[in-house]
Structure 1
Amino acid sequence: MAGRTVVVVGFDGIELVDVACVTTGFDYANRMGADPAYEVLFATPAGRPVHCDSGLELHGQSRLDAVGGRIDTLVVSGGQGHRAAAANPRLVGQVRRLAGLSRRIASVCTGATVLAAAGLLDGRRATTHWFEAAQFAEHYPQVRVDPAPIYIRDGPVATSGGVTAAVDLTLAFVEEDHGAEIARRVAVGMVTYLQRPGNQAQMSLFTRIPRTEHVVVRRVIDHVVSHLDAALSTAGLAALVSVSERHLSRLFVEHVGRTPWQLVRDARLEAASQLLAGTREPMSAVARRCGFASAESLRQTFVARFGIPPSRFRAVHAPAGLR
């Protein structure tokens, strides 16, 4: 095959989005002028269709054992069938063989299980879907598992977090191969983030907070996340919902696992982190939008919570064009 050959490995129980994020990303790169173009091949153990988690059937273009020659990028997708795939010695052996032919190797979501079973993650730092990370780490202690980032690069091997994190990994590959401008065009074409840094967390504070059914707690949380630049004292929040400060604090510890003050602090810090990594706004503007009294107040809170100043966070996490 001419161009940059990308082999995507599929198996029964695969997640369709894991495949589509990668194949569509590379296809858009071709449309935007990638030269050499990507040649994408979807390969399955027997070359036959595989059943996706959603119930759809995805046709393979080749048997794994029929794929040979130089491979630019090998991608193992994830899905509910990842454990069965990792327990299939023939499939794992073929992935190991194909990895030896590849310039770089990657997994999407729980596809990391197959890479680990093939020994390709031994001694490497890797990620997977946050929900599977603890069990993954237990089964493969030789892998340095980090469940937080959306993707991780360790030498020629890359692993990505849950599902749509594959878009971010694919954009990173496109930028590496063809430059930032084509990667930007791909992101715009796919109507997605221009590119989230790989070490951005898979889960944000707003998805980690339990969606409690308690009406008082829900009302306060909704108010906090939509009014970060307002005065958000515990007394003011308690008055908002007509309860005492003590009672509100007790409700929050019971239903959210943190006090109202801790929630406000963490919500403001997360919002500031997103602005620092995704915009060129000056520190004073970031502080003001997120409810900090001043840039110095933001700096002190940031250092106390994360151990680094916000300027350092921006230097590490923001794409080159936003620093």
Structure 2
Amino acid sequence: MLVASGRIDMFRGFFARMIIELVALEGMMASGLAITADLVETANRLRGQAGRTRLFSLRLAGAGAGVAAAFLNLAVAEADAPPADLLVVPGLGFATPDALAAGLARPDVQAAGVRLAAAVAGGAEVAAACSSVFLLAAAGLLDGRRATTSWWLAPLFARMHPQVRLDPDALVVRDGPVTTAGAAMAQMDLMLQVVARHGGPGLAQDCARLLLLDQRSSQARYMAPGFMAAADDRIARAEAWARARLDQPFTAAEMAAAAGLSPRTFARRMACATGLSPVGFIQRLRLERATELRETTRLSMEEIAARVGYADASTLRRLMRRVGAAGRRG
């Protein structure tokens, strides 16, 4: 097996075709499977047009492989097939904590976790996006490593797996042989990184241009604080209170009082529901509103800053740059 690191990464295209195994499980989002297949095929086709050999060989495995093979036109891995160099697990369709817990307890999902752990032990890489990152964590593959997952699952992930160094703002994180990605459509960012790592940045850029894909680095700008706050009725109450006053200065203590909680209890419940501190949550609310005004009005940055509670536009600009929300105006 070729181990995807260092010199082997650099010269893989000259010596062997990289074997990617797409792990398909029941209930998996079809878009993640299709994105993976389309990007791999696009990379191979572009290399062919340049007179070079195909870089990747893609096959299916897992309990849902038979169904996926029909619409992806891919082969299912045989029992005696050579080991894969990279195993990819797109996002699973688990939308709630209860569904996630039930899904991770399924025999086919647990079997996939065993397969992934064995692959890493044998020298392969693994990659997962969205809720499938929980599968990697349950298999012990993320212990002590940096990782990311879907922004709205991040608070739950942090509680379930404190041994993982979670970076919820990151879109794609690679730590050793393990790569993780954010929400479901971050599958395309994950696969672009795979293409760049094994075929070069130029090939990844060509794939992105051909498929009209924006190359992103953070999911912070997509976070919806209200969505996360809804998990706790007191936090949701505080959110509504704050949204009505975004053009005014107010403190986390005042927000806690609006929720009917002590500042300490408020901070604890805020972190549990959203993964943010009260101050961080307030910033997210102001930034969300500022981004909306920036995209839907012709207000200047100074006017937008005043409407979201900042005394000057420079503070707002710095915050927007930090989370990747800065647009073209201003």
TM range (shorter): 0.5 to 0.7
Question: 1:43 and 2:56 equivalent?
Answer: no
- 1:79 matched to which residue of 2? 92
CA distance in 2, matches of 1:142, 1:22: 29
Tell me the CA shift for residue 75 of structure 1: 0.8
CA distance in 2, matches of 1:28, 1:207: 38
Question: 1:22 and 2:22 equivalent?
Answer: no
Q: State the Cα deviation string for residues 242-300 of structure 1 (Å, max 9, x = none).
A: xxxxxxxxx996376352426995258658999xxxxxxxxxxxx8699579xxx5444
Bigger mean CA deviation after superposition, 93-102 or 13-22: 93-102
Tell me the CA shift for residue 68 of structure 1: 3.4
Q: State the Cα deviation string for residues 96-126 of structure 1 (Å, max 9, x = none).
A: 1122345532102111122112211111121
Distance 1:265 1:76, change over 3 A: closer
- Look up the SS of the partner of 2:179 in the other structure: strand
- Look up the SS of the partner of 1:164 in the other structure: helix
Q: Aligned runs of 1:100-179 on 2, under 5 Å?
A: 100-179=121-200
Tell me the CA shift for residue 10 of structure 1: 1.3
Tell me the CA shift for residue 62 of structure 1: 2.9
Contact persistence 2:172–2:182 (CA under 8 A): yes
- Look up the SS of the partner of 1:131 in the other structure: coil
Distance 1:207 1:161, change over 3 A: farther
Q: State the Cα deviation string for residues 2-50 of structure 1 (Å, max 9, x = none).
A: 51111111111211112112221121111222755211111114x8525
Could you tell me the percent identity over the aligned residues?
27
Tell me the CA shift for residue 164 of structure 1: 0.8
Bigger mean CA deviation after superposition, 76-85 or 10-19: 76-85
1:69 to 45, 58, 83: 83
Amino acid at match of 2:174: R
Tell me the CA shift for residue 203 of structure 1: 2.0
| TM-score after normalising by structure 1 | 0.61
Amino acid at match of 1:94: R
- 2:114 matched to which residue of 1? 93
* Gaps in structure 2 of 5+ consecutive residues: 2-15, 95-102, 230-236, 249-283, 307-311
Tell me the CA shift for residue 204 of structure 1: 4.3
Q: State the Cα deviation string for residues 159-192 of structure 1 (Å, max 9, x = none).
A: 1111111111111222222233322221122222
Contact persistence 1:268–1:290 (CA under 8 A): no
CA distance in 2, matches of 1:165, 1:290: 33
Q: How many residues align?
A: 252
CA distance in 2, matches of 1:108, 1:190: 20
Distance 1:128 1:67, change over 3 A: farther
Contact persistence 2:147–2:180 (CA under 8 A): yes
Q: Which has the higher contact order (CA 8 A, sep 6+)?
A: 2
Contact persistence 1:65–1:94 (CA under 8 A): no
CA distance in 2, matches of 1:23, 1:114: 21
* Gaps in structure 1 of 5+ consecutive residues: 211-250, 275-286, 319-323
CA distance in 2, matches of 1:90, 1:96: 10
| TM-score after normalising by structure 2 | 0.60
CA distance in 2, matches of 1:132, 1:30: 34
CA distance in 2, matches of 1:67, 1:258: 60
- Look up the SS of the partner of 2:188 in the other structure: helix
Contact persistence 1:252–1:258 (CA under 8 A): no
Distance 1:161 1:264, change over 3 A: closer
Tell me how large the CA RMSD over aligned residues is. Answer: 4.4
Question: 1:196 and 2:216 equivalent?
Answer: yes
Contact persistence 1:149–1:202 (CA under 8 A): no
